Structure 1
Amino acid sequence: MISAKGSDEGAGVIDVWNIDTFDNELRGDLDAHANLIRNHMITSRRQSREHEASDHRMPYPENPHAGEFMALNEHITQLMEARTIRTWHYTRMTDAEIDTLRLKGIYPSSLENIRSRFDAQVVAGAFSQEVADRLFADSPYQSDHLNARSGMFWMTSRPVDIEDGGVAVFLESWGGEAAHFSQEDEAIQDLLKQIGRPRVLEIAMPLSHSRRSSFAAEAVLATYGRTLGCQPDKQVFDLYSQQPLSPAHILAVHSEGEPNFSAMARGYPVGFADLNLGPGGDE
C-alpha cells in the first residue's frame, strides 16, 4: 500500500490542502521562500482590495514580487511533477465493479470499456441488451465529447460534500457521463438510479500521469501561505490520469451507508476544512 504520509523522496501521498503531509524537500523549499510567499500574497490581496474600491480607471498595479514568485511557482511545479497527491472520484458502482476495481485497478475512459461496462450489466441482469445498445448509441462519447474525455479518468483535488450539486449527479445514476448525461428516456434514467451504490474513491494520483502539476503547485503554495497568515484564494482543481492506475493506487472505497461516506468533507478526512466562505475561503 502506498504511504499516506510524505517522505524525503517525495514517494508518499500529499494532500495539497494539508501542510503536514508535505515531504521534507517540498517543505524545506517553501520555508526557504517564506518571506517571498508572504510578501507576494499580502501585496496581491491589498492591491486587489484597492482596485475593487477604486473607479477602475487606473491600470491594475504590478506586484513587485511577481517575477520571483512566478519563478518559485515554476520550481514547485517541477517538484510536484515527481509527487503523488490524494484525489477523490465520485461515482455509482455495483459491488461486482468494486471487486474488479480492487483486482485490476482503474482504466481511463474509452468506447471499449464503456461498451464492456454496459454488456456486463446485461450479464448481471440489471437491464436488457436492448437497453445496453440504447445507452451505447446515446452516449455522449459517441460525439465530440469523446475527444474531451477519452483516455482520461477524472478526479478532484479536494474531498467534496456528497450533497454538493457538483458531485451529487455522479452519485445518483450508474454509469457516469457515458450513460446518463445525454440520456432522455425517463424509464432508462430511473433504471440507472437503481443500479449500484454511491461511492467515493480515494486515490493516490501520481502527477506524472496527468498535466496538472502547475495546479498542484498553486494549491500547495496557497496552503503554505495560509500558515503564514495570508489569505490566498482557495485552490481547487480537477485533474485526470491518462494512464491506468493499479489497485495499489486505490487508497479506499467509501460506499453509501458507511460513516466516512456520510462524513465526506464534513469530518472525513481528519483535518480537512472546506474553505468556502469567501474568495479566500476564510472571510
Structure 2
Amino acid sequence: MTSGLIDVWNLGTFDGALMRELEAKRDLLCNYERTGKKNYREQQAAKGWVPLKENPYADERQHILEQIVMPAMEQRTIRAWHYTRLTEDEANLLQSGGIYISNLAAIRKRLDTQVVAGVIPVESADALHEASPFHHQTDSRSGKFWMTSHPFPPDDSGVELLLGHWGGEGVYFWLKDDRLIELVKLIGRSRVIEVAVPLHLTTSAYSAAKAVIATFVLAHGCEPEWSAFDLYTTSALGADAVLNVRTEGDSEFSALARGYPAQFIDRES
C-alpha cells in the first residue's frame, strides 16, 4: 500500500505516483470539465428547453476514472471525519483501543455502561435499546462506521444532530419520547474524530477517485462539481487510525471547515 495520508480535497497531500497519473491526463480531464460547463451554460441560455450536448471527452474521462485513478485510490489511505457525541471515557477508549463497528450488541453495551455509571436509569436504557432502528434496519445500518470525506462545520445541518445526541443514529434516530431525547442530549460532549481510513476497507474508492480528480482540475482553473462524499468501513480500525479527537470547546472544533484544517476551503459556501 502507498504510504502517506491523503486529503481528497488537498492537492498538496497527493503523493508523487498519484500526481504523475493525473498529470499525464491533465489535458483530457480539464477539457472534459470545460466542455461540460460550456454545454451546460449554452443549454441554460437557450430559449426553451434543449438537450444537453454530449461531452466528447466523457468516455475517455470515465476510463481514466475507473481504470486508472480508482485502482490507485484503492491502495491509499485518506483522512475522513466522524461526527458524534461521546463521554470522556468513550473518547479515551477510542484513542487507546481504536474504532469498533456499530451493531445492536455494541449499542446495548454502551447503554449498560451508562447505567453502571449512574447516568442512565435501567428502564431508560431498556427503552432506548427497544427504540433503536438497528432492530429493523440491520442490513443497512449494522456493521458499519460512517464518516465524511470533507470536514463540515459543527453547526451544519447534516451533522448537528449527530453532535447533539449521544449514541448516534442507532440510539436517537427514532426517538419520540421527549424525556429520552433530552436525556441523550445531556450525555457526553460533541466530538469530531479524524480517521485514517484505508480505502480498500470501504466501498468508496470510486467516489474518492472522483474527488481527487475534482481537486486536481480545480487547481488548473476548472470548475468541477462539489466532490464531498459519505463513506463507511465494515472493519474495525486500530488506535493508530484515530488521528485526533476534536472536542466541543477546542479551538480546532470551533474552526472546523472555517479555518481548520488551514488548507480546506468550503466551496459549497
Is TM (by shorter chain) over 0.5? yes
Structure 2 CA distance for aligned equivalents of residues 213 and 82 of structure 1: 9
Matched, 1:271 2:263: yes
Deviations 1:169-188 (A, max 9, x none): 01111011111111111111
How high is the TM-score relative to the length of structure 1? 0.92
1:30 aligned residue: 22
User: Which residue of the other structure, out of 42, 54, 67, is the alignment partner of 1:62?
Assistant: 54
Aligned to 1:39: 31
Asked if the contact 2:101/2:144 (under 8 Å) is kept, the reply is yes
| Alignment partner of 1:119 out of 106, 112, 125 | 112
Per-residue CA distance 1:41-60 (angstroms, 9 max, x = gap): 10011011111222465432
Provide the aligned length of Structure 1 versus Structure 2.
268
Equivalents in 2 of 1:229, 1:93: separation in Å?
41
Give the alignment of 1:115-264 within 5 angstroms. Answer: 115-143=108-136, 145-264=137-256
Q: Distance in 1 between matches of 2:259 and 2:266?
A: 10
For 2:109, the aligned partner's letter is S
Q: Match of 1:89?
A: 82
Q: Does 1:14 align with 2:15?
A: no
**For residues 60 and 165 of structure 1, what CA distance do their matches in structure 2 show?**
32
Asked if the contact 2:98/2:237 (under 8 Å) is kept, the reply is: yes
Whole-Å separation in 2 of the counterparts to 1:154 and 1:175: 13
Q: Which position in structure 1 is the counterpart of 2:71?
A: 78
CA contact (8 A) 2:102 2:144 kept: yes
- By how many angstroms is 1:142 displaced? 1.0
101, 106, 124: which is aligned to 1:108?
101
Provide Cα deviations, 1:68-93, integer angstroms capped at 9, x if missing partner: 11111111001000100100001000
Q: Secondary structure at the match of 1:91?
A: strand
Q: TM-score scaled to structure 2, two decimals?
A: 0.97
Shift of 1:10: 2.3
AA in 2 matched with 1:239: L
CA separation of 1:57 and 1:166: change in aligned 2, threshold 3 A: closer
Q: What's the secondary structure of 1:166's corresponding residue?
A: coil
C-alpha separation in 2, matches of 1:205 and 1:192: 28
2:92 to 92, 99, 115: 99
Using the alignment, how far apart are the partners of 1:180 and 1:95 within structure 2?
19
Gaps of 5+ in 2: none
2:43/2:49 contact within 8 Å kept: no
CA RMSD of superposed structures (Å): 1.1
How far apart, CA to CA, are the structure 2 residues paired with 1:55 and 1:81? Answer: 45
Q: Which one-letter code corresponds to 2:108 in the other structure?
A: R
Distance in 2 (CA, whole Å) between partners of 1:273 and 1:88 is 15
SS at match of 1:45: helix
SS of 2:56's partner is: coil
**Is the 2:132–2:174 contact (alpha carbons within 8 Å) kept by the matching residues of 1?**
yes
Q: Secondary structure at the match of 1:148?
A: helix
Q: 1:142-197: per-residue Cα shift (whole Å, max 9, x none)? A: 11x22111111000000000011110101111011111111111111111111100
